[in-house]
Amino acid sequence: MENSKMTVLHDWHVEQGANMALFGNYDMPLWYKTGAKAEHLAVIGAAGIFDTSHMAVVTVRGEGARALLQLCLSKDLETCIGKGKTALVDGRCVYGIFLAEDGTVIDDAILYQLRSDIFMVVVNAGMGGIVADHLKKYTDGQDADVQDLTDKVGKMDIQGPLAAKILAKVLAHSAGVFDRLSYFSFKGSFGPFASDRVVTLVDGTPLLVSRTGYTGEFGFELFVEIDCLPSLWSQLMDAGMDQGMLACGLAARDSLRAGAVLPLSHQDIGAWPFLHNPWQFALSWNEPMTSFSKKFIGGPALLKSRWQKHTLPFAGFDPRKINAGEGSFVTRESGERLGTILTCTTDMAIGRVDGAIVSVASNKDFQAKGLCCGFVLLDQACVSGEKVVLTDGKRKIIVEIRADVRPNRTARRPMDKMLG
Amino acid sequence: MKELSEVIFVEELKYTEDHEWVTGSGATLKVGISDYAQDQLGDIVFVELPEVGTVFAKGDQFGNLESVKAVSELYLPVGGEIVAVNDALGDAPELINQDPYGNWIVEIKPSDTSELEQLLTVDAYRQLLRG
């Protein structure tokens, strides 16, 4: 525990009796007294709030900022928005990967354009300095000032179908804030990004409201000056407590994101080429996937790569899991070794009905027992529906390779449907 | 996480270093996990139970508890034959979280009752948790 870090909400987590554990060197809540299952289900049926202030923020400013990010982020900033493939503009954000020259993953990120010359990059816990140094390496005399704001930004997420209704209670002029706030767009600003497009809480605190998250469900990531985070957190607790909202720990965050087929950086993506995985949309592939629409760091290595392994989502047939890690592996039913387990957790909101996966989101009376799910890294491609065996050398469980896991997710639902 | 002062101990039970409890002294013993163990594991979502009739030695793994986060092995505190398993846990594994001492996991017929003497008293178990 020595040298481990704490977020500004740490005292609250401990006072609430959370089970704490180190994550990215931060002492974080795994679950509160409500338990991970109730927290997971709250996000599916109502809402949950998450302390995500362990994540790091890097800013890039200047005339050369966009060119630097276009060079370093895997996504093409000129064609990354929507079906029309338009350019990143103010108020929009995009998911991408920072690759090393060899095509391996440094970290994944969401890039926010606050102004044509001001960008905010949100990366994983402990990665602020590393990503900032990586960007600085490629500034090459251009006017692009890179700052690591690790531990200087307050961030929390509110996720779930009631997220907007609960957030509306603490926002000033919420109708205006939510108007046309489509998936992967944001409004407002805070501390280091003073702007005239102000979004504030009822108490006047400026914040940035982003229509993003890491659960696959409808909701927001909220950014404030770090000193304002405890107050925002308690205001949202008060606003949501009679709506079935729960504070959620990292266990629920992990099971929700696994069911939504979202990768955990340095676990599902990492020190191997970013190829043959479910997240190729994060690259700037052209239509036949033969080359990229732009030049970017790591791109040439990916095009030349002989990487043959495949990262694939899976779901089991009951809640049983195999702990991922050394000694655990994947085989065919015949016993032939296929690869390793990257993530294996239980999505508590789903179960099987006649073989098909059903979520409590589509049927509130459905008694989901949960299904194990996650990602495997296999030596060869497997098609969706194929069954493989996860084992720790003793226990074996059969799981199914899937294109998707938890159905009826709400992340992309139109704003008006969630407010109506 | 429960403070030690919040952890429930039951005076008349025997405990193991693997955070299991044992009750009964005669023909059969019931085995479950302690309040401390269920609090550490978090929500239990699946209980893997042995077949009735299986014989295990002391310390053998006889089943698994699956929490949302991980799989934890269950070890038999005293060698013997499994004479019953708590089938209610199949449909409702969360019963262990709700009442860890009211919900036994397996019942065993011990092959050597002298092994019972190696189990921990409640005071010794409390001391173990104090560290």
Is the pLDDT confidence value at B29 over 90?
A: yes
Across the interface, whether the CB atoms of B43 and A35 are under 8 A apart is answered: yes
Q: Strand, coil or helix: what is A137?
A: helix
Is the pLDDT confidence value at B25 over 80?
A: no
Specify the pLDDT at position B68: 86
B1: confidence class by pLDDT, cuts 50, 70, 90: confident
Give the chain A residue whose CA is nearest to the CA of B3: A17
Q: What does pLDDT average to over chain B?
A: 95
Neighbours of B19 (CB within 10 A): 20
Specify the pLDDT at position B131: 84
pLDDT single digits (tens) B105-118: 999 999 998 999 99
List of domains in chain A: 10-53+152-257 (3.30.1360.120), 308-408 (2.40.30.110)
Nearest to A319 among B40, B66, B70 (CB): B66
Contacts of A321 in chain B (CB under 8 A): 66, 70-71
Specify the pLDDT at position A362: 92
Specify the pLDDT at position B57: 97
Give the mean model confidence (pLDDT) for residues B70-80: 95
Specify the pLDDT at position B120: 97
pLDDT-flagged residues of chain A (< 50) = none
- Residue pair B47/B93 in contact (Cβ under 8 Å)? The answer is yes
Mutate one of A320, A348, A350 to test the B interface: name it (highest B CB count within 10 A). Answer: A320
Nearest to A30 among B42, B64, B97 (CB): B42
Q: What is the DSSP letter of A105?
A: E
- Residue pair A251/A31 in contact (Cβ under 8 Å)? The answer is yes
Q: How far is A36 from chain B (nearest CA, A)?
A: 6
Alpha-helical regions (H) of A227-322: 229-240, 250-259, 299-304
Give the mean model confidence (pLDDT) for residues B66-81: 93
Neighbours of A2 (CB within 10 A): 3
Contacts of A38 in chain B (CB under 8 A): 43
Q: Which of A43-52, B46-55, B65-74 has the lowest mean pLDDT?
A: B65-74
Task: Tally A–B CB contacts below 8 A.
Answer: 66
Contacts of B48 in chain A (CB under 8 A): 320, 395
Give the mean model confidence (pLDDT) for residues B62-82: 94
pTM of the model: 0.95
Contacts of A319 in chain B (CB under 8 A): 45-46, 66
Contacts of B94 in chain A (CB under 8 A): 37
Specify the pLDDT at position B69: 82
Task: List residues bridging with A3 in a β-sheet.
Answer: none
Name every residue whose Cβ is closer than 8 Å to that of residue A390 and which is 6 or more positions away in sequence: A314, A316, A321, A322, A328, A329, A330, A341, A344, A376, A396, A397, A398, A399
Specify the pLDDT at position A2: 60
Specify the pLDDT at position A190: 93
* Two tokens, residue A63: 């005339």
Task: Tell me how long chain B is.
Answer: 131
Residue type for position A255: S
Among A248, A257, A395, smallest CA distance to A318 is for A395
Distance from the Cα of residue A294 to its chain's centroid? 25
**Tokens 């003793």 sit on residue:** A394
Q: Strand, coil or helix: what is A302?
A: helix
Specify the pLDDT at position A92: 97
Across the interface, whether the CB atoms of B43 and A36 are under 8 A apart is answered: yes
Mutate one of B3, B44, B61, B69 to test the A interface: name it (highest A CB count within 10 A). Answer: B69
Q: Where are the beta strands (DSSP E) in A326-412?
A: 329-331, 337-347, 350-353, 356-359, 371-378, 387-391, 396-401
Please report, rounded to a whole number, the percentage of residues in chain A having pLDDT higher than 70: 99
Name every residue whose Cβ is closer than 8 Å to that of residue A21 and which is 6 or more positions away in sequence: A27, A28, A30, A250
Specify the pLDDT at position A191: 85
Across the interface, whether the CB atoms of A318 and B94 are under 8 A apart is answered: no
Nearest to B1 among A17, A322, A323 (CB): A17
Concatenating the DSSP letter of every residue in A141-171 gives TSS-EEEE-TTSEEEEEEESTTHHHHHHHHB
Across the interface, whether the CB atoms of B46 and A37 are under 8 A apart is answered: no
Q: Strand, coil or helix: what is A243?
A: helix
Give the chain A residue whose CA is nearest to the CA of B45: A319
Across the interface, whether the CB atoms of A17 and B68 are under 8 A apart is answered: no
Is the pLDDT confidence value at B7 over 90?
A: yes
Which residues in A292-309 are b (16+ Cβ under 10 Å) and which e? Answer: bbbebbbbebbeebeeeb
Nearest to A318 among B6, B46, B68 (CB): B46
Nearest to A323 among B2, B45, B70 (CB): B70
List of domains in chain B: 13-130 (2.40.50.100)
Nearest to A348 among B1, B40, B68 (CB): B68
